[in-house]
Structure formats: structure tokens, C-alpha cells
Amino acid sequence: MKIKKIIFTLLTSFIITTGSHAGKIDLTIINAGAPGGTYSKLNDALIKDLGKFYNINVIGADSESKGHKVFQSIEDRPVYVNSRTAFFSGVNVTKKEKPLINDSKKHYIVFAGKFNRAVCVQKNKDVDTLLFGKEQSLKIASSDGVIFGKKFVAKLDAQTNSKHIMVPYNGSGKLIKGLITGDVDIIVVNQGSAIKQWKDGNINCKYTTNPSSGQGLQPLYKKMQDPWAGFKLTYTLYGEVKNVSSSFAKDLNTRISQILSDPNSNTTKKISQLGWSSLIADIEGLRKDWKESYQDTVDILK
Amino acid sequence: MLELSWTFIAYGVFFGTLAGMLPGIGMTVVMILASPLLITHQSIEIIQFYLSAILISQFTGSIVAIYFAVPGEPSSIPAVIEGNKLARQGKGTQAIYLSAIGSAVGGIIAFILIWFLGKNLGILFKNFGTLFNVVMITLVVILLFLVPAKTWIERYVFPLVGMILGILGESTQDVNVSFSLGIDLLETGVPTMPLLLGLYTLPLLLVLIQNRTDTAKSFVQSISIKDVVFNMSHVVLSVFHAVLGFIIAFIPGIGLNIVSNLSYEIQIRMNKYVEQKNKGQYGLLAAETANNSGAISVILPLVLFGLPTTASQAVLYNILIEKYFLFGPESFNNLLLNSILQVLLVTTFAGLLLAGPCASILGKLFEKFEKKLYIFVAILMIVVIGYVGIQTYNLELYTWVIIVSFVVGWMCRNMDVLRIIYFFIISSFLVENFTRILYMWELM
């Protein structure tokens, strides 16, 4: 067979495959969580619940940065994504880059899921001795990026007169593995991921960044001499929607509020299982929370 | 407790048969093809799929090697040399069964070794963290550079290109940092599947379709089991080479290709003391047994340390990373161990059936449909990757990556472009561990 014919056949297959994607959908949801990760699990639950009200098309983006890229690129249909936009926008501003949300007229915030970090050490070790012991030099790992991790360590150093070393990681799974294999002494890790390992006896956790404690962990802010450790900064996954009218956004916000108020919904069950909490508020209330969270991040990183 | 996913083992058997029997397809292509199917499933099912496919490919690879003198994958080269020679002498059935039984013995020996070593390996490797990863990956890189390359481009430029492509996108340490060479489209990195498709698979398939006009002479014959001889010397040799293959394959960076050919070379040297009529059979048995036991131990560095040592494992690694699979002792638990052992037993039995009694049927099917199968696989890959591009809203990036990499792949079709791909895939592991060690040692 002639090579040109074969290339033509292959090209035709590609065009047919890509061209067969047609038709409008009611709501596209980008799942920007890594498959198997806690964000993804929450997204899956929310998608299942929203599926009762919308014809949903899910796009798997497997990371928040990819999720944003996809979110920005879609202009022809209503699209929704959950992401830590306030946190990333705060970090971006610190780096003198654009915040992720800079046009409030086009984007509506319709959901806020708040989650926490747990402070854990190796099993058989004492969290207080390692975290608050004086004049130590330990390795502390964080998955919130280098700038943020260094800030946390600087605060702890100031309180304990220590000289700890910050080790950055990308992802909760790797953080936990780093702790188990002895790469690091302390981790500040997604609580949802830590709890299972703690219960299985693989690691030892004691504190949470949740000011109201929860899941058997104590609030960290009571032990750290800095309101920041409260954490005044709340880690929040905000749900943004765009390419919609304000009435569409309000309707979506109402639906989500109903889901969050229903103790039997998939989302509520998942939020509880992961040790998260949610903020039930209208669009304006959620926008206000976003701005506060964003400002907290900027202030902390100053 | 039985934790087998029969569906995934069945997929593995099907894809493994493709990988083994279609020259050039191999496990790397199979893993790319199966990625969309695998990504939504559990990590353990994906590992079961990979194990069953790689084991079956070792069984079925010998069918085309013996009947048609075509190496389905490079580890079947000894089977081409010795197996096809036996087929030409009218001993095709003996060669087929020798290879199938030898492969099964390899699987059984691997089962026993994993069973004895498995749990202890998990405990032992609990102590290996970033420093260990750095040592391992350095060893792998050195080994890769030591593998002979035809030109300086393949030796030095390809690894460098692979590394640069691999570190594009989100930083391995910091969620707030990404590298894109100033190209917006690359902020999320170069997608693996379109790169593999354009750079390696499509050029390879086109070359294969072009070159398969001269059909290889077939020696497919009906199987008559009463003619088969498998005596004590065969048993002893197959056990010896199974243990040898298992140990060699465990060394990161070696790969089944080297395992099979090394065992064969060792047997050739031992054949000085063997009767002439048995030399070919022993060589065939050595290679086939070693590559099957090695097919199991070759995956251990990946599961235990998160260190991919072959291109197909690198694709598997990519999928498992996306599934948040915790490589290391936390995941190398009883569940995974039992799962590996069960897959090993089931697949060894299935492989024995396929490469033994069913060998002539598979051989005849191959004879009839070979060229059409290549075209089918090429179209299927295009469709699968186009579909994934649409689903992930990355169509523009996917299209560009396929076009650019295909042009490069076609220009370099006579070179070993897998070196680019291997370095592309391990680069994030390498950079991540080296950077982390610098932080840990306060050098950053």
C-alpha cells in the first residue's frame, strides 16, 4: 500500500474523531483534582449531585494548573471549576504576577469548600517534642509551594528559636511517603489524606489548621504564638462558573446550597469524610469570602 | 483473599498478545493504547493489567519468532535464531512447546521467588527515600549512557532533548511554578501520549507497513503434543535461567531485552559441553525462561521505589502517578503482593495455552492479518489520542505535539528515538529527587 494513502487514512481518522465532537451542553465541569486525590473525590461527589439538575460534561484536567488552563480556554459554553483560586491569586501577586481571577463580571463564585492541613510526624514519635522543641534543626515538608513553606518554617523558627529546613513537595501522597521513609521529620499535609494513614498507624498526627479542631486533631493556632497559624488563612476550594448569565449563576449557587444543606447528599457525606467544611452563602457572600482569603494569603506572604 | 480483576487480566492477555505477536508494537505502544481505558480504574487493576500483558507478550512473542523468524519484541531475538532454525528442521512443535513450557517454568520460579522475598523486600525498602532514589536514578542514567548508541546524536542529544521536554510544565516541587519556554501552550507540559505517538509509534508503524511487502516464510504446522520432549536436562536448565533472569532483570535499567539475550549468550558458552542436537533447544529454552521470570522482577524497582526502568514502565508510572499511587512499602503490601502472585499464576497458565496448543491458530491468524493489524492499530491510536485530546480540551496542544514529533520521528526513523522518550519520562523523577536532596542538604 502506498504510504501517501496510509497517511491520508490516518489523517482522516484524526479529523473524523475530532470533528465528531459537536452539540451544546448545559454545564461543563472541569475536574482539576488529580485522579484518586481528595479534590477529585469531592469533585466526583459534587458532579454526581449536580447531575440531578444539569446535563453535565466532565473534563478531567488532573491538576489545578491544567484545570485553569482549560477553564480559561472555554468561551462557548457554561463552564465550572473548583480550585484554590484565592490562594494561587495571593501567591501570584506576591510574585508580581496576575491574580487568577481579575474580572468579577465574567466569573461567579458559587461554591466554597474549606479544607485543612494536619501536622504529622513519624509513627512512634511525639508531635509536640518535634514541632515545639527548642533549638532544633529538623526537616519540615509542605506541599503549598516554596514561598509558603518557607514562611511556615520561619514562623516556627521564630517561636522555637530553631533553624529548621523546609523541603518542598508536590502532592500529599509524596509528602506522606517522605515522612514514612524518613526524608523529613514533620509534614504539614492535607488532612483528608493524612487521616487514613494516621488511623492505619503509619504516621502520627496531632494538630490541624482547622480552628475548630475535628477528626480527633487539635487546633494548631492555640499552640503557635501567631494568629496566622490559626490558620487565619483558610484553605478553600472555590467553585467558579463563567460564560453564564447572573440568573444561571444564582440558580447554580442555589442548587449547590441545597446539596450542601442535605446531610444525605454525596457532597455532604464526602466533605464530612474528608474532614472538610463548606460555606453556604450567596454569590456576594462567597465573593467576599474569596477576597478575604486572597488578602490573608497576600498578608501572610508579605 | 482473592483480589483479581479478571476483566483487567483479560484485557492484559489481549493486549499482551498484540504486543508479543506484532513486531514493533511492544509494551510501550500497548500501554499508550490502553491508557484511556486504564486511567479511570484502580491502581491495583492497572498493575494487574500491565503484569498480565507483559507476561503474555513474552509467551506469544516466541510464536512469530519461531514460525516466521520475526522478533515480536527484541527479547525474542534468540527465539528467532534458535526457534526458527528448529522449525526449518521440521521441529516447530518441539520449539513451540519448549518455549511455552520454559516460559511457564520462568513464571513459576518468579512466583516462588516473589513469594519468599516479597514481604521482606517491603520491610527492607522502608528505609529508602530520596537519597536512595537519587542513587538509583543516577545508576539508571549511567547504565543508559553505557548502552551502545549508533551516533553521538542518539547518545547525547536525544537524552538532553528528552530531559528538556520532560521538565516543561508544572514544577515537581512547587505547585506555584511552571516552565514553558515562554510558550503559553506548554505551561501544562508536553503530553506523553501524543509525543509517543508522533515520535515513535506512527513512524514505526509506517515503516513496518511499508516493509512488510515481502512476507516472511512461514513454518506454521499443526501441533502434535506426542512429539514433544521435555526431559530432566530441560527442567534443570529452565530453573537455572529463570533464577538468573529474575536476578538480572531486577537491576534498574537492564530491561527484558538484555535479560533474554544475556541468558542466551551464557547458554551458548555452556553449550560447548552439550551434544550438537540439543544446542539450539537449550539456547531457546534459556532465553524464553529468563525473559518470563525477568518480566516479573523488572517491575519491582517501579513498584518499590517509583523508579521506571523501561519505556513501557514509564507510561505505567505516569498513569499511576496520576492515580496518586504511593510507590514504596506503603503500597507494596500483602494485597499487592497477593495480587502479583495470583496474576502470575493465572497468566502463566493462559500463556502456556496460547503459546502451546493455540500457537498454530495464532500463527495462522498472524499470517493472514498482519498488515491489516498494523493499519488497524495505527488508526486506533490516532482515534484514541484524538479523543483524549478533545476530552481534556487539549486538542490544539495534542495536534501540535503529534505534528512536530511526527516530523522529527520520521526524520529519525532509523535512530533509537526511545532514548528521547525514556529520558522525557524519567526527567521529572530525576529532577524532583535531585532538587529535593538539594533542599534537604540546605544547598537550595
Residue ranges per structural domain of chain B = 6-440
Residues of chain B positioned with their CB less than 8 A from the CB of A173 = 324-326
Residues A85 and A153 in one domain: no
Higher pLDDT, B43 or A238: A238
Residues A11 and A107 in one domain: yes
Which element (helix H / strand E) includes B385? helix B359-391
Residues of chain A positioned with their CB less than 8 A from the CB of B391 = 59-60
Q: Which of B371, B386, B439 comes nearest A168 by C-beta?
A: B439
- The residues with which A80 forms a beta bridge, in sequence order, are A29, A241
Residues of chain A positioned with their CB less than 8 A from the CB of B389 = 18
Confirm whether A25 is domain-assigned.
yes
**B372 and chain A: CB distance < 8 Å anywhere?**
no
Task: Note the pTM of the prediction, 2 decimals.
Answer: 0.70
Interface test with A, best of B172, B371, B439, B443 (most A CBs within 10 A): B439
Across the interface, whether the CB atoms of B129 and A183 are under 8 A apart is answered yes
Range(s) of the domain holding residue A292: 3-115+234-301
pLDDT score for B440: 93
**B225 and chain A: CB distance < 8 Å anywhere?**
no
CA pair distance B326, B175, nearest whole angstrom: 19
| pLDDT surpassing 60 at residue A234 | yes
**Helix (H, G, I), strand (E, B), or coil: what is residue A139?**
strand
Q: ω before B369 within 30° of 0 (cis)?
A: no
Q: Which residues, numbered 64 to 83 in chain A, qualify as contacts with chain B under a Cβ-Cβ cut-off of 8 Å?
A: 64-66, 69-70, 73-74
Burial bucket for residue B1 (CB in 10 Å: 0-12, 13-18, 19+): exposed
Q: How many CB pairs under 8 A join A and B?
A: 146
Residues A9 and A93 in one domain: yes
CA pair distance B96, B66, nearest whole angstrom: 7
Across the interface, whether the CB atoms of B324 and A202 are under 8 A apart is answered no
pLDDT in tens, B167-177: 998 887 777 77
Residues A178 and A34 in one domain: no
Which element (helix H / strand E) includes A29? strand A27-31
Q: Report the percent of chain A where pLDDT is more than 90.
A: 35
**A139 and chain B: CB distance < 8 Å anywhere?**
yes
Across the interface, whether the CB atoms of B390 and A10 are under 8 A apart is answered no
pLDDT tier, A23 (very low <50, low <70, confident <90, very high otherwise): very low
Residues 6+ apart with CB under 8 A from A177: B129, B326, B327, B328, B330
**A59 and chain B: CB distance < 8 Å anywhere?**
yes
Residues A277 and A245 in one domain: yes
Average pLDDT over every residue of A109-138: 93
User: Chain A: nearest CA to B168, how far in angstroms?
Assistant: 13
Residues A87 and A127 in one domain: no
Residues of chain B positioned with their CB less than 8 A from the CB of A66 = 170, 188, 392
Nine-digit cell at B301? 524497582
Residues of chain B positioned with their CB less than 8 A from the CB of A146 = 173-174, 176-177
pLDDT in tens, A173-221: 778 888 988 899 999 998 888 887 888 788 999 998 887 777 889 988 8
Nearest alpha carbon to residue A291 among A156, A99, A131, A97? A99
Confirm whether A224 is domain-assigned.
no
Residue finishing a domain among A151, A173, A208: A208
Query: What CATH number did the domain enclosing A93 receive?
Result: 3.40.190.150
Nearest alpha carbon to residue B113 among B276, B341, B349? B341
Across the interface, whether the CB atoms of A13 and B187 are under 8 A apart is answered no
Residue finishing a domain among A191, A208, A225: A208
| pLDDT surpassing 90 at residue A134 | yes
Residues A33 and A70 in one domain: yes
Q: Which of B43, B130, B323 comes nearest A183 by C-beta?
A: B130
Interface test with B, best of A57, A79, A91, A177 (most B CBs within 10 A): A177
Residue finishing a domain among A208, A226, A260: A208
Using CA atoms of A63, A69, A73, A75 in order, give the dihedral in degrees to the nearest 10: 70
DSSP B265-295: HHHHHHGGGS-HHHHHHHHHHHHHHHHHHHH
pLDDT score for A185: 96
Nearest alpha carbon to residue A209 among A288, A290, A131? A131
CA pair distance B67, B211, nearest whole angstrom: 19
Q: Which of A34, A172, A181 comes nearest B126 by C-beta?
A: A181
Across the interface, whether the CB atoms of B328 and A177 are under 8 A apart is answered yes
Nine-digit cell at B264? 542466551
Confirm whether A181 is domain-assigned.
yes
Q: Which residues, numbered 159 to 188 in chain A, qualify as contacts with chain B under a Cβ-Cβ cut-off of 8 Å?
A: 165-173, 176-178, 180-184
Which pLDDT tens digits describe chain B residue by residue (444 residues)?
Answer: 445 678 888 889 999 998 888 766 778 778 877 877 787 788 888 998 999 999 898 888 888 888 877 766 667 778 878 888 888 888 888 888 888 898 899 989 988 888 887 667 656 656 667 887 788 778 778 877 777 788 999 989 999 999 999 899 888 777 777 788 888 788 888 887 788 788 887 887 788 777 765 555 666 766 667 777 888 889 999 999 999 999 888 765 566 777 887 888 888 888 888 777 778 889 999 998 998 898 888 888 788 767 676 768 877 887 887 676 777 666 777 778 888 888 888 998 998 888 888 888 888 888 788 777 778 877 877 887 787 777 667 788 889 999 999 999 999 998 988 788 778 877 887 888 899 999 999 887
Confirm whether A219 is domain-assigned.
no
Mean pLDDT of all residues belonging to chain A? 84
Confirm whether A145 is domain-assigned.
yes
User: Chain B: nearest CA to A299, how far in angstroms?
Assistant: 17
Q: Which of A9, A35, A181 comes nearest B128 by C-beta?
A: A181
pLDDT in tens, B137-166: 787 788 777 777 889 999 899 999 999 998
Q: Tell me the residue length of chain B.
A: 444
Query: Minimal Cα distance from A85: which residue of B?
Result: B176
| pLDDT surpassing 60 at residue A65 | yes
Neighbours of A35 (CB within 10 A): 19
Across the interface, whether the CB atoms of B439 and A165 are under 8 A apart is answered yes
Judge contact between A3 and B202, C-beta under 8 A.
no
Burial bucket for residue A245 (CB in 10 Å: 0-12, 13-18, 19+): exposed
**B214 and chain A: CB distance < 8 Å anywhere?**
no
Q: Give Rg (Cα) of chain B.
A: 21
- The residues with which A142 forms a beta bridge, in sequence order, are A168, A188
Q: Tell me the residue length of chain A.
A: 302
Nine-digit cell at B188? 501544562
Q: Which of A18, A59, A145 comes nearest B176 by C-beta?
A: A145
Judge contact between A217 and A51, C-beta under 8 A.
no
pLDDT score for A232: 61
The DSSP output letter for B128 is -
Interface test with B, best of A66, A176, A189 (most B CBs within 10 A): A66
pLDDT score for B111: 86
pLDDT in tens, A262-299: 999 999 998 888 888 888 999 999 999 998 888 888 88
Q: What is the total count of domains within chain A?
A: 2
User: Chain B: nearest CA to A37, how far in angstroms?
Assistant: 6
Nine-digit cell at B89? 528442521
User: Chain B: nearest CA to A277, how far in angstroms?
Assistant: 23
Interface test with A, best of B133, B174, B197 (most A CBs within 10 A): B174
Q: Which of A14, A147, A148 comes nearest B386 by C-beta?
A: A14
Q: Which residues, numbered 301 to 330 in chain B, qualify as contacts with chain A under a Cβ-Cβ cut-off of 8 Å?
A: 322-330
Higher pLDDT, A67 or B222: A67
**A239 and chain B: CB distance < 8 Å anywhere?**
no
CA pair distance B173, A283, nearest whole angstrom: 34
pLDDT score for A66: 81
User: Chain B: nearest CA to A27, how far in angstroms?
Assistant: 14
ipTM over 0.85: no
Task: Tell me the CA distances in angstroms from A187 to A165, A184, A234, B128, B433, one per residue in order.
Answer: 12, 7, 18, 18, 17
Residues A135 and A104 in one domain: no
Residues A108 and A123 in one domain: no
Q: Which residues, numbered 373 to 402 in chain B, qualify as contacts with chain A under a Cβ-Cβ cut-off of 8 Å?
A: 375, 378-379, 382-383, 386-387, 389-395
User: Chain B: nearest CA to A289, how far in angstroms?
Assistant: 22
Q: Which residues, numbered 91 to 130 in chain B, qualify as contacts with chain A under a Cβ-Cβ cut-off of 8 Å?
A: 126-130
Q: Which residues, numbered 149 to 178 in chain B, qualify as contacts with chain A under a Cβ-Cβ cut-off of 8 Å?
A: 170-178
Residue that has been written with the C-alpha cell 514541632 in this structure:
A131
| pLDDT surpassing 50 at residue A24 | no
